[in-house]
Amino acid sequence: MDPLAIGLAVAAVVAGVAVVVAAKRDDDRRDHRRRLQNRLAETLPSGTETHLEHSPTVRDLVVVDYEDGEATYVPVVRIDLETTDAPGLDLLVEYVADVLETIHPELEDERVRHYDVQFTFGPDGLFVPSECRRIAVPPTMAERLVADADYRAHDLQRDLEDGDDGGADAPVVWSDCEDYDDDAAAAAASAGGTASVP
């Protein structure tokens, strides 16, 4: 058989396998996002109990790295405060703690770089967009919050503030929302996947 034909056949098989693997990864991400969203809707519904007009939403489950065939995620959760100004940090961290206690157990078998909880507030019109700020929490703090009954939101707030060095890496307290498109695209390219999954 012609060596060129053999080479083309092998390349076609490899490409086919890569497409199948990428599709499987995308399906996994969709399943994770759906499960996280359902849990948030159950645990943090809109209404007087949570003081939220809408449940928190999973904006994205960003893949920021692949190592040994395993994805590393940044779950991005958005909370629309529907207020003119942001409330105090203590209340914001209470929301963050509720989100972490809801979704961290669902991702305990996955690699997570950090959890990104975003808050929007302020006017939201055609010419004046609402403001978006975030609190980023490393998985070690999320794990302690879930596993240690004596570690509560005020303890989390203290550790977040102590650990925030002003950089982009978690922990981050109240900085501008992050755009993960570049990290996600790079990770997807290196793994043969796609950068964003609807």
Q: What is the pLDDT of residues 89-128, one digit of tens each?
A: 999 999 999 999 999 999 999 999 999 999 999 887 666 7
**pLDDT score at 3:** 63
Name the CA radius of gyration of the chain, rounded. 20
**pLDDT score at 100:** 98
Distance, in Å, from the CA atom of 118 to the CA atom of 183, rounded to the nearest integer, reads: 18
Residue 156 · residue 93 · CB < 8 Å: yes
pTM over 0.95: no
**pLDDT score at 150:** 98
**Arithmetic mean of pLDDT over the chain:** 83
**Regions of the chain short of the pLDDT cut 70:** 1-25, 125-127, 182-198
